[in-house]
Structure 1
Amino acid sequence: MRKLVVCNIISLDGFYSGPGGDVMAMPFDSGFSDYNAERLRAADTLLLGRKSFEMFRSYWPAVAQDMSQPAVEREISRLNTAIEKVVVSNSLNPEAIGGWGPTRVVRRADAREEVATLKARPGREILIFGSHVLWNDLLAVGLVDELHLMIGAGIVGEGVRAFEARLSDRLHLLDTRTFDGSSLILARYAVDR
C-alpha cells in the first residue's frame, strides 16, 4: 500500500499560515526547498486542495526556465509539472486545469474514497503540500500515514493553526533532521492506527 505523506512548514508557535492566511509569513529558508525536492523525487502523485493548486500553478511553471532561480527551485518546478496532480475541489472547473502537466479534479464528497483508492494502487508516495483543509480532513479519518513537519524559527502570533482537531490516532516520531545553513527542524511522524 502506498503512503500518504503530508509535508508542510509550521511556525514555532504552531501556525500553518500567518495573519490573514498569509503563507509567506512562514519562516522559509533553503532547507524547505531542499526537502520538498527530496519528497517530490519519492512521489508520483501530488494531492492538492484548490487554493494550493491555484497558488502553485501560478508560480511554479515559469521557474523551470528561470536561470536566476537556484537549481533546486528549477528542479521542483520540473517535478511539479511532471507529477500527477489530483485536485480536490467543488468549485474548480475541470476544463480550467490544463497547462500544468497531468492534472484532474475530484469533488470533495469523493475525496476520501479517491484517496483510499489511490493508496491501494501500486506506486510511489502520495504527497500533500499546503492544502490545510484537505490534509486535516484526511488526517481525521485515518488516511494520512506520515506527517513531515518543518518547524521554523519564527513566531507568527496569529493565523491558521496547523491542526484543526484532536486526533484519535497517536503519532510516533520517526526521526528528526536539520539542514546545512537552515534554521528549520524536520520532524517526521507516523500515524499509528
Structure 2
Amino acid sequence: MRKLIVCNLISLDGCYTGPGDDVMAMPFDHGFDDYNAERLRAADTMLLGRTTFEGFRDYWPPVADNTDAAPVEREISRLTSDIDKVVVSDALTADQTGAWHNTQIVPRADAHKHLTELKNGPGRDILVFGSHILWKDLLAHGLVDELHLMIGPGIVGDGVRMFETRPPASFQLVETRTWEGSSLLLTRYAVSS
C-alpha cells in the first residue's frame, strides 16, 4: 500500500505561514530544499489543494531553466513538473493547469474515495505540500500515513497554525534529522487513528 505523506515547514511558534498567509516569512534554509527534493525523488504523485497548486504552478516551472537558481531548486522544478499531480478542487478547470498537463482534478466530494483507490493501487509515495485544508480533512478521515514537520528557528507571531484544535489522530515519532549547516529539524511521525 502506498503512503500518503504530509510535508510542511513550521516555525517555533507552530505556524506554517506568516502573517497574511505569507509563506516567505517562514524560517527557510537549504535543508528545506534538500529534504523536499529527497521526498519528490521517492514519490510519483503529488496531492494538492487548489491554492497550493496554483502557487506551485506559477512558481516552479521556469526555475528549471534559471541558471541563477541553486541546482537543488532546478531539480525540484523538474521533479514537480514530471510528477503526477492530483488537485482536489471544485473550482479549478483543466485549462487552468498551465504547463502541467499531467494534472488530474478531483472534486471535493470524490476526494476520499479517489485517494483510497490511489493508496491501494501500485506506485510510490503520495506527497502533500502545504494544502492545510485538504490534509487536515484527510487526517480526520484516517487517510494520512505520515506527517513530516521541518521545524525552523523563527517566530512568525501570526499566521496559519499547524493545528487549531487537537487532531483526531495519534502520532508516533519515527525519525528526527538535521542537515549540516542547516538550522532546521525534521520530525517524522507515523499517524494512527
TM-score class normalised by the smaller sequence: over 0.9
What whole-Å deviation, never above 9, does each CA across 1:94-130 have from its counterpart, x for those lacking one? 2321412411111111111111111000110000011
Change beyond 3 A, Cα 1:79–1:60: same
- How far 1:164 moved relative to its partner? 3.7
TM-score relative to the length of structure 2: 0.97
Query: Could you tell me how far apart the structure 2 residues matched to 1:130 and 1:113 are?
Result: 21
Q: Is the deviation greater in 164-173 or in 80-89?
A: 164-173
Q: Is the deviation greater in 85-94 or in 146-155?
A: 85-94
- Correspondence for 1:167: 167
Alpha-carbon contact 1:10-1:152 (below 8 Å) kept = yes
Any residues of structure 2 matched to 1:1-193 within 5 Å, and which? 1-193=1-193
- How far 1:169 moved relative to its partner? 2.1
Q: What SS does the aligned partner of 2:65 have?
A: coil
What whole-Å deviation, never above 9, does each CA across 1:66-103 have from its counterpart, x for those lacking one? 11111100000000000000011111112321412411
Change beyond 3 A, Cα 1:143–1:36: same
Query: Could you tell me how far apart the structure 2 residues matched to 1:63 and 1:101 are?
Result: 17
How many residue pairs match? The answer is 193
What letter is aligned with 1:166? R
Q: What SS does the aligned partner of 1:162 have?
A: coil
Query: Could you tell me how far apart the structure 2 residues matched to 1:165 and 1:113 are?
Result: 25
Query: Could you tell me how far apart the structure 2 residues matched to 1:150 and 1:116 are?
Result: 26
Query: Could you tell me how far apart the structure 1 residues matched to 2:192 and 2:132 are?
Result: 21
Query: Could you tell me how far apart the structure 1 residues matched to 2:134 and 2:169 are?
Result: 17
TM-score relative to the length of structure 1: 0.97
Alpha-carbon contact 2:57-2:97 (below 8 Å) kept = no
Q: What SS does the aligned partner of 1:163 have?
A: coil
Q: What SS does the aligned partner of 1:81 have?
A: helix
Structure 1: where are the runs of 5+ without partners? none
The alignment's C-alpha RMSD in Å is 1.0
Q: What SS does the aligned partner of 2:180 have?
A: coil
Structure 2: where are the runs of 5+ without partners? none
Query: Could you tell me how far apart the structure 2 residues matched to 1:49 and 1:175 are?
Result: 27
